[in-house]
Chains A and B, each alone.
Chain A
Amino acid sequence: MDRTRPLLNRGPIGHAGNVAVLAVPVAFLGYFFVYPIVAITLRGLTVDGAIDLSVFSDVITDTTLQGVARFTFWQALLSTILTVVTALPAAWVFARFTFPGKRVLEAATLVPFVLPTLVVGTAFLTLAGPRGVTGVDLTGTLWLILAAHVFYNYAIVVRGVGAYWQRLDPRFEAAARTLGASPSKAFRTVTLRLLAPAIASTSALVFLFTFTSFGVVLLLGDLKHTTIEVEIWRQTTAFLRLDVASVLAVVQLVGVAAILAAYGWFQRRTRVQFERSFDSSRRPEGRERWIVGAIIGSTLVILGTPIAMLLTRSFIGPTGRLGFENYINLFKLPEISGAFVEPATAIANSLRFALAATAIALVVGLLSSAVITYARRRTARVFDVFVMLPLAASAVTIGFGFLVALDRPVDIRTSVILIPIAHALVAIPFVVRTASPALAAVHRTLREAAATLGASPWRTWWTIDVRLVATAVLVAGAFAFAISMGEFGATAFIARPGAPTMPIAIFKLLGKPGPSPFGAAVALSSLLMIITGVAILVIDSLGVRDRREL
């Protein structure tokens, strides 16, 4: 007698539809993600189908590789601490105060986070590299890597902790004050305690990203200052030691799993039930104005300097003249430096790949979101973790996995379609995180209301479901596009010499001697930054807002 229930709970698709919805992402992620990871593990730990740990023990007893692992860990820890310490004041300002231009600045903090790693690396090269604006060369030191990591992950802390901080009832601190606590004591005993889980889980995320840092370290580090991620690439491309690279990848995966476990543990502790949503922010008063102003100022300096340097340097031509020479060189570089491909072609390639990657990521990501939203609770939870895995495994692992695994059943390793697929894998977690909440927000009562007002199931789906998630889909698409445009870690393994992307072209240009290629790399980085920046502006302007009028 259950006539109407399934229809309303699951939308207009029946059971068969559900199976199809589940099958697509499972097949996609299974073949392009799980299978390569398994292949890497087998490659590293077995020989001819039998377990063989000789390469494994060679790797873990190698003092150079031990040094790499140690450096990977320490730079991640230092980067994390430094990022949290510098970004917490800004998190406080954004959570507790309103000031002119807040919205713009808030959007601006997002920009570094979505900038391609190679752009960030290049920006820091213009700041303190051998051909930089300041004349100070800090490449091959820990400091430049740390600075780039702080710049890169600043937004995660500001947003992650700030969002939590904003919802924290300011009366908790007020209550502590009325009970005799000094301002600093009230902060330490109440606010900081309540924030601790949020800080810890955000730190775990920053640690994860810096632990698997690739592009930044590749450009700014040297043989000693390098991460496991870079070492996997070097072993693969320079020494063709796929077995050593596989072992390193397995070691890194274990590390990542541990970090993720810590992250999940902290995340569960941040789930304090907030009784209502607050906006506790207010205008700063009196002395506060100076403190808030100083923090806003330093945020602008930290986030603005590398970007400003990059843009400035892009207008300083090879001969030191101001102008568009570097940009013009992008179109006649083959004559100048013998680079095999015109960077202009790379721009066209990147745009094509980005469109394809966006389409793939949207299809797979939206179907995944549908599973997460509509499936039974257990299925949904398992699936939620499953689709997030590519985010954790690092782009290099994805690209390396393609190289190791995708010669079976058919050898597709040289196919150009792999590039958008790899990009889509990186983007899918972002699509899912954007689309799932929007799908979940389509409450059953809204569909029921539409039904009682005379809308058929299909009409309900079209007028309610589709319309409500449309914005989220656009945002997710813009995210996927920006990610694909800037993706380097995976692309570095699978890009065909004849079809480089913008980041690949930047990397190649940076590797060439002389001032012209460097200038061109800076110009290309600036272009890439502008493209991803526009995508972010689109995302932000579409973002959920309290629209008083529709």
Chain B
Amino acid sequence: MSAIIDDLSVMFGDVTAVDGLSLEIATGERFAVMGPSGSGKSTLLRAIAGLAAPTSGRIILDGADVTDLAPHRRPIGLMFQDYALFPHMSVIDNVAYGLRMHGATKRASRHTAARLLELVGLAGFERRAPGSLSGGEQQRVALARTLAPEPALVMLDEPLGSLDLALRESLLTEMRSVVERVGATSLYVTHDRTEAFSFAQRLAIMRHGSIIRVGTPDAVWNDPATTFVARFIGHPNVVPGHVVGFRAEAVTIPGSAVSIDDGPIDGVVQDTVFVDGTYEMTVRVGLDTLLKVIDIDSHPPGTRVHLSIDRGAVRELVLDEF
């Protein structure tokens, strides 16, 4: 149940949405692709699903080339961003739909669908209309519907995108555990780094239609390689190397690697915020470089401070943003 994307390109007229992208997802792996909007990640999903035609490249699922197959002949499942639940069918009929299309009898498909509804915590919702469900409930119906036919690759397109923040966190954990339990190979697409990092065993960062960094969450986090990746995944201090005495064009300094003591770097506190029990200071270093520094003591704005940096924790970056 592996997926191989080989040198895939999708063009819409003159616009290249996916640009020679290659990717391998292992059987049973939870993989995430993250990137800003317009990076081509949704088009990638649509191309794998057969809803967008690739200009070149191959898509191989479970060892079979599916590039030329119509969507309904591909062993994939796609969970749509706004779920696309069928408004004229009950919850159970929505979930059973894929099974019916794959030839299961009405009874058998309902039986399986009921089991999946139970799995996503919606037992008892069988006869409800999708329109009468809350956003979170709809999301879980959509997940159950996508998983029901046991596709070789389960794709989730911004599955939490239309929900509010509080709901996202609990659903994310739940969704991961459901996907884990059914053992599906999954591809999760999002622009949100928290979602990608907590869902995936391996993730890729996409930009301008290509993947610029791929690896396990901790590998990517600890060595983002480029300034774009570092900023995108939320590193607080991506600064020019020379400011902190590095040769590289740019470096990233973990917040925990900067401390206010008698260190060699001079700075002036610009702003102080109390966050999660500690103080987070924005310190101006040199002419216009700003560093985020965390300290248990407050240093009010205007204070002159001396900083030291744990050089071992600093990672050099390639400047790829401007």
Q: Which residues of A line the B interface, CB within 8 A?
A: 1-5, 7-8, 443, 445-446, 448-457, 459-460, 463-464, 467-468, 546-550
* Closest A residue to B77 using CB positions: A452
B261-279 interface code vs A (CB 8 A; 1 in, 0 out): 0000000000000000000
Q: State which of A3, A446, A452 has its C-beta within 8 Å of the C-beta of B76.
A: A452
Contact between A449 and B132 (Cβ–Cβ < 8 Å)? Answer: no
Check B53–A2 contact: CB distance below 8 A: yes
Q: How far is the CA of A261 from the CA of B261 in the complex (A)?
A: 77
Residues of B within 8 A of A550 (CB): 88-90, 93, 127-129
**B6 lies within 8 A of chain A by Cβ:** no
- Complex: chain B residue closest to A443, CB-CB: B84
Q: Can you list 23 A-B contacts (CB < 8 A)? A: A2-B53, A4-B51, A4-B53, A5-B53, A445-B82, A446-B86, A448-B49, A449-B78, A450-B101, A451-B49, A451-B71, A452-B49, A452-B50, A454-B101, A455-B97, A456-B72, A457-B72, A464-B86, A468-B88, A546-B131, A547-B131, A549-B90, A549-B129
A448 adjacent to B71 (CB under 8 Å): yes
* A4 contacts across to B, CB distance below 8 A: 50-53, 70-71
Contact B88–A454 (Cβ < 8 Å): no
Query: In the complex, A414→B134 CA distance in Å?
Result: 60
Q: Are B88 and A455 in contact (CB under 8 A)?
A: no
A455 touches B101 (CB 8 A): yes
The residues of B that contact A453 with a CB separation of less than 8 Å are 72, 77, 97-98, 101, 145, 149
- Which chain A residues border B127 with CB–CB below 8 Å? 549-550
Compute how far the CA of A456 lies from the CA of B80 in the bound complex, rounded to whole angstroms: 18
For A446, what are the chain B residues with a Cβ–Cβ distance below 8 Å?
A: 84, 86
CB distance from B204 to the nearest CB of A (A): 22
* CB within 8 Å: A-B pair count: 100
Distance to closest chain A CB from B44 (angstroms): 14
Q: Given the complex, which residues of B lie within 8 Å of A463, measured CB to CB? A: 97
The docked-state distance in angstroms from the alpha carbon of A454 to that of B97 is: 9
B residues engaging A (CB < 8 A)?
49-55, 68, 70-74, 76-78, 80, 82, 84, 86-90, 93, 97-98, 101-102, 127-129, 131-132, 145, 149
Question: Which chain B residues lie closer than 8 Å to A1 at the CB level?
Answer: 53-55
In the complex, A548→B91 CA distance in Å?
11
B13 CB, nearest partner CB in chain A, Å: 11
B87 touching A468, Cβ below 8 Å: yes
Asked if A454 and B149 make an inter-chain contact with CB atoms under 8 angstroms apart, the answer reads yes
Known: A4-B50, A546-B132, A550-B127. A451 touches B90 (CB 8 A): no
Bound Cα distance from A463 to B51, whole angstroms: 19
Chain A residues lying within 8 Å of B72, measured Cβ to Cβ, are 450-457, 459-460
In the complex, chain A residues whose CB is within 8 Å of the CB of B78? 448-449, 452
Are A445 and B128 in touch, CB under 8 angstroms?
Answer: no
Interchain CA distance A448-B84 in the complex, whole Å: 9
Measured CB to CB, the closest approach of chain B to A455, in angstroms, equals 5
Nearest residue, chain A, Cβ from B51? A448
List the 10 closest A-B pairs by CB distance, nearest first.
A453-B98, A454-B101, A451-B71, A449-B84, A550-B90, A445-B84, A452-B78, A548-B132, A455-B101, A550-B129
Q: Which residue of B lies closest to A454 (CB)?
A: B101
**A451 CA to B131 CA in the complex, in Å?**
21
Name the distance in Å between A167's Cβ and chain B's nearest Cβ.
18
Nearest-Cβ distance from residue A548 to partner chain B, whole angstroms? 4
Inter-chain contact B101/A459, CB cutoff 8 Å: yes
Q: Which residues of A contact B50 (CB under 8 A)?
A: 4, 451-452
Give the CA-CA distance A548 to B68 in the complex, in Å: 41
B58 CB to nearest chain A CB (Å): 13
Given A445-B80, A451-B50, list of 13 further CB < 8 A pairs? A1-B54, A1-B55, A448-B78, A450-B72, A450-B86, A452-B72, A452-B74, A454-B72, A463-B97, A548-B128, A549-B129, A550-B90, A550-B129
